[in-house]
Structure 1
Amino acid sequence: MLKGAGALALALFCVLLIALAQRAGWLDGVNVGLMTAAGQARETATGGPVTMVMRLASAVGGTAGRMALLAVALLPLLWFGRWRAAQWLALTIAGGTLLNLGLKQIFAAPRPDLLPHLDIVHTYSFPSGHAAGNMMFFGAIAMLAGSRAGYGVAAAIIAMIGVSRVWLGVHWPSDVTAGWIEGLGWLALCRVWLPARGGEQQGAGHAAVRRHPVAGDEAMHPETVEGCRRGDQQ
């Protein structure tokens, strides 16, 4: 619990540092440079198709899209009786969403106006809700899956959605970076309550088999019995 809280505190401290650096203008070179490059790429021959892909990625990663994906993810968990996993996933996303909304109100950063916006936005810019929310959602799904392939797919989706916000001109790169850091910190805290997977349950069952009550006494592992016999003979 302390490690998870410490990780979240560190993440929020990093978000604060990014916010201060952004307001002081120390990140203008990176932010303006990358967004200018995105604007130039939008005007190329391949810019149109790429913009369509970015709009789709942004729509999937929006609040409505994430809530729809959350409902789809909860259905199989509930169907197969993984109630604790479903509850953990729902609370992780709900708490993370509230955290991001609170941070947006605290920093109250305006949207960038360097490029024409290709998406409709109504909230503050920092930290990016798309970046934070999808880091939390797809990161939580990967944690429940517990496979390298799951983490790889999740990372690719998170990166695509984050880049789409810069491409569409509605977030500075530093907004997206802060959102990713926020999401990682929240996942580190929520990992404390991550439900045990099948391997851990099998491990508990194996431990129960090694030592169990029989006729009022406890049966011992064969290696232990053999060791006792050797001791008696000596």
Structure 2
Amino acid sequence: MGARSISRPSASIAKGAGALALALLCVLLIALLQRAGWLDGINVGLMEAAGRARDTGSGGHVTTLMRLASAIGGTAGRLALVAVVLVPLLWFGFRRSAIWLVLTIAGGTLLNLALKQIFAAPRPDLLPHLDIVHTYSFPSGHAAGNMMFFGALALLAGSTRAYVAAAVMILLIGASRIWLGVHWPSDVTAGWIEGLGWLAFCRLWLPARGGEKERA
């Protein structure tokens, strides 16, 4: 029994580390392909399509929606949502879930900031920017951060509706960054992969350390 109880946490830690390593390898591959110009066709094509759609009659309404989604998924909006979620978690006694959520978001944010500095990719200039940006472009912080946040909420809730709602928000916020002209599609894709890898790491590693024993 003792050997089994020790091996299970070790296996979870190894799987979590492996998932994160695979995700970071994919992010690196996307970065190399992007810098080599092999993704220009997809990136330029999708962003030009967004630019044409922005100029249509309904484009203004879509832009309003995309601005809202981007604001919700920004750093300030995401931190506000984390604070809102922490209140009921702590109020109803889900202390471990609250700690797990904070560690997941904080660590993931630091990871994304580090990757941005490593790759130091400039923002696309194909379309006029409809949002103010000051950081590097790759990988998208909105895409990564909201994959982590909404994915973490879905894991804590553990219901199909939660996973569907999380997927809708993740896709909408990621698409908003392309629509607003501040990220290439490959930036967003890399952010999603980064966020998913970090989420898998936290899901497998922290519970093995006793971080998630309860269902919120």
TM (norm. structure 1) is 0.84
- Quote the Cα distance in structure 1 between the aligned partners of 2:97 and 2:166: 18
- Quote the Cα distance in structure 1 between the aligned partners of 2:68 and 2:213: 34
Displacement of 1:134: 0.2
Match of 1:183 in 2: 195
In structure 2, the gaps of 5 or more residues are 1-12
- Quote the Cα distance in structure 2 between the aligned partners of 1:64 and 1:77: 20
Displacement of 1:196: 2.2
Q: Identity rate of aligned residues, in percent?
A: 77
Match of 1:168 in 2: 180
- Quote the Cα distance in structure 2 between the aligned partners of 1:152 and 1:81: 26
Aligned pairs for 1:33-72 within 5 A: 33-72=45-84
**Bigger relative contact order, structure 1 or 2, given CA contacts below 8 A and separation 6+?**
2
- Quote the Cα distance in structure 2 between the aligned partners of 1:82 and 1:153: 22
Work out the number of aligned pairs and report it. 199
Q: Residue 85 of structure 1 is aligned with which of 88, 91, 97? A: 97
1:8-39 deviation per Cα after TM superposition (whole angstroms, max 9, x unaligned):
00000000000000000000000000000000
Moved over 4 A (4+): none
1:28 matched to 2:40? The reply is yes
1:132 matched to 2:144? The reply is yes
Displacement of 1:197: 3.1
- Quote the Cα distance in structure 2 between the aligned partners of 1:151 and 1:198: 15
Match of 1:196 in 2: 213
Match of 1:120 in 2: 132
Q: 1:62 to 1:51 in 2, by over 3 A?
A: same
Judge conservation of contact 2:140–2:190 (CA < 8 Å) in 1: yes
Q: Residue 142 of structure 1 is aligned with which of 124, 132, 154? A: 154
TM (norm. structure 2) is 0.91
Q: CA RMSD in A?
A: 1.0
Displacement of 1:198: 4.8
